[in-house]
Structure 1
Amino acid sequence: MDSVRTCVACRRRASRADLLRVVLHEGRFIVDERAALPGRGAWVHPTAECLSKAVSRGAFSRALRVSGKPDTSPLENRLKTLMDN
């Protein structure tokens, strides 16, 4: 059975396969494609709506217990690439 996670943006529950895991790496949020990187992860639907909601609300920083404003541009660029395909 696939594990269920909660999207940090919309708070809807979904299977891991339907969400993307985001981690903090060297001060930047990145997509953990294989959900295998160490450390805390935040889960988000791969949609523009959930991404913008999570970024504007600071949901990634809160979920990953990070202070300040880490760089979200690598995450936004990666999600745009995923959504275009």
Structure 2
Amino acid sequence: MTLQESRLVVDEIGGLPGRGAWVHPTRDCVQLALKRRAFVRALRASSPLDAQTLEEWLNSYGNQVNGSK
């Protein structure tokens, strides 16, 4: 994860500039991290973060793992 204009962005290859945060690609881990504000702390953000991009990636990742399209 990286922070771009208060949005969480998935950086699968680790090539984007700036601070990053790592999380297991599971719904449970992501939800727990959001609940505990772990991304805000790890990325040193001063305001709440938009996790919509992260949620969309997580949904598509689950489909790829499960063999769905």
Question: How would you bin the TM-score normalised by the shorter chain?
Answer: 0.7 to 0.9
Question: Residue in 2 aligned with 1:77?
Answer: 56
Structure 1: unaligned runs, 5 residues or longer: 1-21
Distance (whole Å) between structure 2 residues aligned to residue 83 and residue 35 of structure 1: 20
Higher relative contact order (CA 8 A, sep 6+): 2
CA RMSD, 1 decimal: 0.8
Pick the structure with more helix per residue. Answer: 2
Structure 2: unaligned runs, 5 residues or longer: 65-69
Identity across aligned pairs (percent)? 48
- AA aligned to 1:84 is N
TM-score (norm 2): 0.87
- AA aligned to 1:48 is R
TM-score (norm 1): 0.72
